[in-house]
A and B are shown apart, each in its own frame.
Chain A
Amino acid sequence: TQLLEQSPQFLSIQEGENLTVYCNSSSVFSSLQWYRQEPGEGPVLLVTVVTGGEVKKLKRLTFQFGDARKDSSLHITAAQPGDTGLYLCAGEFGSARQLTFGSGTQLTVLP
């Protein structure tokens, strides 16, 4: 059973602050995805990373994939209240077509 550790579990910050969320595994990801989920809705894909060392940017969000493909981070610059939500990392391992989700980070950005 693959385990994904995500930290922090909860994060409450003021508008304008920066933050980083981490996702770690003891196994190598074949691919890793980051999702954002709002209450009562399904997760929405933010990004997919597959290459070790890869960095992707999506407006104020920066995603990094570790060189060894065992960890990833999501950095948000100048957070806004609209960024509030549950952020989830999810990974594929080996050739299995199946996602394993991290425990999630509940982000609250206060105005």
Chain B
Amino acid sequence: GAVVSQHPSWVICKSGTSVKIECRSLDFQATTMFWYRQFPKQSLMLMATSNEGSKATYEQGVEKDKFLINHASLTLSTLTVTSAHPEDSSFYICSAAGTGYGYTFGSGTRLTVV
């Protein structure tokens, strides 16, 4: 079946630094990738949608300059949290979709900003 690999699974960074999270589709071409944010005991909130080779579409209230998304190839998308602050601490999850494939989710990244 379709597999999406997300790295790192957890990361701790200092306030003010940037963190990059990778999402790779291992056995299919992901024409669209989605990035979600999840707070404890809450559901997934869509942050942005990216199509390969195009600029990401951000949901209302999500700062595009803070959460940089790159989807340069059909198998890789990255989310960079720039100038991270403690309030950015959360669980970030990616999902990939391709032709003939449904939504496949990564295992998530726990970001803690100290």
Verify B93–A97 contact, CB threshold 8 A.
Answer: no
Interface range on chain A (Cβ under 8 Å from partner): 20 to 34
Verify B46–A98 contact, CB threshold 8 A.
Answer: yes
Q: Which of A33, A41, A101 is in CB contact (< 8 Å) with B107?
A: A41
Q: Count A-B contacts at CB 8 Å.
A: 49
| B102 at the binding interface (Cβ < 8 Å) | yes
B42, B43, B106 interface centre (most CB from chain A within 10 Å) = B43
| A21 at the binding interface (Cβ < 8 Å) | no
A92 to chain B, nearest CB (A): 9
Q: Which of A97, A99, A106 is in CB contact (< 8 Å) with B41?
A: A106
| B67 at the binding interface (Cβ < 8 Å) | no
Q: Which of B41, B43, B49, B108 is in CB contact (< 8 Å) with A101?
A: B43
Which B-chain residue is minimally distant from A6 (CB atoms)?
B43
| A43 at the binding interface (Cβ < 8 Å) | yes
| B97 at the binding interface (Cβ < 8 Å) | yes
| B95 at the binding interface (Cβ < 8 Å) | yes
Verify B41–A45 contact, CB threshold 8 A.
Answer: no
| A84 at the binding interface (Cβ < 8 Å) | no
Verify A42–B102 contact, CB threshold 8 A.
Answer: no
Binding site for B on A (CB under 8 A): 6, 33, 40-45, 48, 86, 88, 90, 97-104, 106
Other A-B pairs, 15, CB within 8 Å; known A98-B46, A99-B103: A40-B9, A40-B110, A41-B108, A42-B93, A42-B95, A42-B107, A42-B108, A48-B102, A99-B46, A99-B95, A100-B46, A101-B45, A101-B46, A103-B43, A106-B41
In order of increasing CB-CB distance, the 8 nearest A-B pairs are A42-B105, A104-B43, A101-B44, A101-B43, A42-B107, A42-B108, A103-B43, A43-B105
Binding site for A on B (CB under 8 A): 4, 6, 9, 32, 34, 36, 41-46, 49, 91, 93, 95, 97, 102-103, 105-108, 110
